[in-house]
Amino acid sequence: QKEVEQNSGPLSVPEGAIASLNCTYSDRGSQSFFWYRQYSGKSPELIMFIYSNGDKEDGRFTAQLNKASQYVSLLIRDSQPSDSATYLCAANGGATNKLIFGTGTLLAVQP
């Protein structure tokens, strides 16, 4: 069973702090990895994707990938209350069109 695992949280951080979200995956054939943000009652929104080992930065967001450890993370700098949401990690299922989602981590940024 190909899996993507996340800590369900909630992860509580104060406003202005760095939020660190983590994800592991089991399928070594996965090539690309995604972070989606989902507000309660809304649909998932793609915020970051990463294909290569190392870091990828976009504004306040940094995605990190370590294929040897099968580990993906998302850092959110200067966290804002508007960042409070569930963050879904996903991996592509090898050569298929499937994305395999983790169970999501609920982030709560305290003002």
Partner 1 sequence: DTEVTQTPKHLVMGMTNKKSLKCEQHMGHRAMYWYKQKAKKPPELMFVYSYEKLSINESVPSRFSPECPNSSLLNLHLHALQPEDSALYLCASSPPPAGYGYTFGSGTRLTVV
Write down the least CB distance from residue 35 to partner 1, Å: 9
Residues 76-95, mask of contacts with partner 1 (x by CB under 8 A): ------------x-x-xx-x
Q: Which of 55, 64, 67 is nearest to 26 (CA)?
A: 67
Q: Which stretch binds partner 1 (CB under 8 A): 13-21, 33-41, 60-68, 69-77?
A: 33-41
The reply on whether position 102 binds partner 1 by CB under 8 A is yes
Write down the least CB distance from residue 88 to partner 1, Å: 6
| Full DSSP string of 8-66 | ---EEEETTS-EEEEEEE--TT---EEEEEE-TTS--EEEEEE-SSEEEEETTEEEEEE
The reply on whether position 21 binds partner 1 by CB under 8 A is no
